[in-house]
Amino acid sequence: MRISDEEFEHEVEAAIDSLPDRFKRALDNVGIAVADEPNERERATMQRQCDELLGLYEGVPITRRFTGYSGVMPDIITIYKGPHERVCATRDDLRRQIRKTVLHELGHYFGFDDDYLHAHGY
């Protein structure tokens, strides 16, 4: 399944826009980026044996930000287009997977680990 870069970015934005306001208001010092493919360093962060890296959170979860947290570079969530296109067969599958990936990576921002997120369907 292939879509344009603009369509992919729109789906990522739609996933963020679908968040309840209380979660959107809690987003602080975090940026969300889109990339075609993960690089070697990013792929090396994979903890589970998976064929594709769909997204990556890099930063300090809000549950670990204390009084000394200031002047820190923004956290980054990267959502990868190529892997999503390879694992999805239809536009609806792609839309659902993008949303699931965005929510998974935001889950890391909110302090949840992979085991918890996978156990709850993310």
Q: 86: burial class by Cβ within 10 Å (0-12, 13-18, 19+)? A: middle
Q: Where are the alpha helices (H) located in 3-110, listed in sequence order?
A: 5-17, 21-26, 40-43, 81-87, 91-109
- The whole-angstrom separation of Cα 16 and Cα 55 is 14
pLDDT digits (tens, 9 = 90+) for 22-76: 999 999 999 999 999 999 999 988 876 668 999 999 999 999 888 878 888 999 9
Domain that holds residue 103: 5-119
CATH of residue 104's domain is: 3.30.2010.20
| Average pLDDT for 96-110 | 96
- The whole-angstrom separation of Cα 115 and Cα 110 is 14
**Per the structure, how many domains does the chain have?**
1
pTM score, whole prediction: 0.92
